[in-house]
Chain A
Amino acid sequence: MIGIQQQFRLEDCPVSDLMQRLRQGRLCLDLGATSIRVNSDSSELAAQLGKVYPQHPLIEGADWADHHVSVTRAKGWRRWIRPQVDFSCDFQRPFAPFPADAALPLFEWGSNWLIGQRLAHLLLLHAGVLERDGLALVLPATPGSGKSTLTAALSLRGWRLLSDEFGAFCPDRLRFIAMLKPVALKNRSIDVIRNFAPDAPLGPSFPKTRKGMVAHLAANRDAVDRRKEWVRPGAVVIPRWTEGAELSLEQLAPHVMFGALAFNAFNYQDTGARGFDAVSHLTTVCRGWQLTYSRLDDAISALNELWQQVRDRARQPFENMAQK
């Protein structure tokens, strides 16, 4: 079943065909940890989704999606004068409309909101997550610290992207799973990534969103195809971009790591004791560092080097527990 489905991806689909699927409400995006069915009459959205979800498979006849969203053109005079689009989910409309040409940011924002509200069976850390050698690198951070930029850069240098926003950790399996959406880059980081990798698959820029200019980096084919693989936690690194700073990597005490993971999470409170146990587990099996950097290349080579240690340590589970 999977073999056939994954033959066709959004990039193989002409915009007119995507539009048709959106109109009929049968475009289903499987992000790994969750799935979204989209209904829309916006041709802007069809084109924009095709650009930033190119590798996601076209799923035919899905009989399940976690979220069912509509992005529809506003009725009445808003159809003609400064047209707008509305986001809704099962008759609920949580936000004010956006300008019609910003359908994608509205879809991304709205679906992120739904994910944060509804998936309390997972602990949703506010963190970028990438995988290498079967181990997850967790990059928790507050907005503005350059987490998305670093996540995007790593994903362009051989690390497999799981998510730039939701570190989806299953408290039962004690593993991460992908929440695979495009990486949302804001303001200066758009040019930073463009210079870092001139052929990076960036979607259109949206100049006037609530967070300023936004552009999305599409996930690559390998990340999409492996989005259902569960990943062991490897290490926690809190990134901090500081202009002109020398690279430094300082180890963190477990209680600092605990705070950085738990208190930034989207649903730490909702998950109750499960969330507490999950974060405790992460701070037990992972070591944590604070990474201060100013140049992406330096940060990436430091993380590549660090990963050899992390990999060696993960091979020795007993010794690793004894150190704690």
Chain B
Amino acid sequence: MMRWPWLQALRQPEICAGWSLTQWQEAVRQTRRLRLLARLAEAITDACLLDRVPEPAARLLQSEQLISSYRQRLVAWAANCTARTLADLSIPLVLLKGSAYQAQRLPISAGRLPSDLDILVPRYALAQALEALKSAGWEEPDLDDHDRRYYHEWSHEVPPMRHAAHPIELDLHHNILPPLGPVRVDMEALLTECQPSQWPGWSVLSPRDQVLHSAAHLFFDSEPLERVRDLVDLDGLLRHHADADPSFWAALEDRAEGLDLVEPLLLCCHFCSLWLDTPIPAQMQSRLQSVGAWHRVLRMLFRAVLAPADLDRPRPMRQRAAATVVLWRYHLRRMPLRLLLPHAWHKLRGTRAGNADL
């Protein structure tokens, strides 16, 4: 069923007890580049199997666990400071994505490797929040006019901010999805369902909105290449929230209809069930079986894009072609050509070779 033993080991760490050093090598390389190595290390630690790991691999597991806890400390500290900075505004302060999983102490947060703090404030308070953050030392990047306008008019967040005392980025959102995307999300509806987290001053989206946000983030994104980590997050969210609340799945499906996010939810359930054995209730399973031809095409596309490529050989043509199709679909759904072409031209002129992923 599962093609990658390292992916299976995230849920069933006991299978690695029998791995050869060569299998460990493959597992460490793949999970490290996909940002899942510390996750694997946490699963193995929880199962008390660390002493069965061969020494060269055990060192790197330990290293990645230390880095993960350091990065999580940074996020927690930045969230703590930011809550105090924004407290006077008396507005809802919401954590998103990994920051929210951490603040709820979800099992899935163990071993995540965050690189930013993701927060959301209501649109009406965005300018105030931005000013308050800037006066507390958060700095916006240097952007040219085009990029500034892009963020201001077409994005759901302000450009990532940096702070001299916080070596992470702060992403300030006013919506979970871009206003020009295929789906416009009414943030009011999400804000009224927010719940308190374990971090003072911060709330989080309701469980069903967390799943939909993560699914939309993955399947509406321009570059979902090999983002198995997002599926691992989704698997963790689905399992955890369904265990905590028997009516979770019904509420989730209902919400997906209401927010017009059925497509990403169906894709999420398909891949979670296929690759991570996520338990999917019968009703959802029958929906997954009765999807139309277009949805089956999307599955093929995402299957090619999401599946991690084999190491030590060139990327498969199929994967690169599918990634290109997904990228174009993304742009065309997001911006009409009269906006897209000038934007693409601007980006093309500014392209540099650095930091490109192969």
The answer to whether A68 and B312 touch (CB under 8 A), given A93-B357, A120-B67, is yes
Partner of A88, one of B56, B167, B355, B358: B358
One of A94-102, A216-224, A243-251, A257-265 contacting the partner: A94-102
Interface 9-mer from B58-66, B172-180, B241-249, B330-338: B58-66
Contact yes or no, B358 A39, CB < 8 A:
no
The reply to whether B353 and A96 contact each other, CB–CB distance below 8 Å, is yes
Q: Which of B150-171 contact A (CB under 8 A)?
A: 167
Shortest C-beta distance, B248 to chain A (Å), equals 36
Q: Is A77 an interface residue (CB 8 A)?
A: no
B347 at the interface (CB under 8 A from A): no
Instruction: Kindly report which residue of chain B lies nearest to residue A96, judged by CB atoms.
Output: B354
**Complex interface: chain A residues within 8 A of B309 (CB):** 91
- The answer on a CB contact under 8 Å between B69 and A272 is yes
Give the size category of B's interface with A. 20 to 34
Q: In whole angstroms, how far apart are the Cα atoms of A271 and B33 in the complex?
A: 20
Q: Known: A90-B311, A91-B315, A120-B66. Is A68-B29 also a contact (CB below 8 A)?
A: yes
Tell me the nearest residue of chain A to B311, going by C-beta: A90
B84 at the interface (CB under 8 A from A): no
Which of B21, B62, B67 has the most A CB atoms < 10 Å from its CB?
Answer: B67
Contact residues in B for A93 (Cβ distance below 8 Å): 355-358
Q: Which B181-199 residues have C-beta < 8 A from chain A?
A: none
A91 to chain B, nearest CB (A): 5
Nearest chain-B residue to A35 (Cβ)?
A: B56
> In the complex, what residue of chain B is closest to A74 when comparing beta carbons?
B353
A118 within 8 A of B: yes
For B353, list chain A residues within 8 Å (CB): 96-97
* Given A90-B33, A91-B33, A92-B33, A121 contacting B70 (CB threshold 8 A): no
* Contact indicator per residue, chain A 72-104, by CB within 8 Å of chain B (1) or not (0): 000000000000000011111111110000000
- A sample of 17 cross-chain residue pairs with beta-carbon separation below 8 angstroms, ordered by A number, consists of A25-B312, A66-B59, A88-B358, A90-B33, A91-B311, A91-B358, A92-B357, A93-B356, A93-B358, A119-B59, A120-B67, A121-B60, A121-B63, A269-B70, A270-B67, A270-B70, A272-B66
Closest 5 CB pairs of A and B: A96-B354, A120-B63, A120-B66, A90-B33, A121-B63
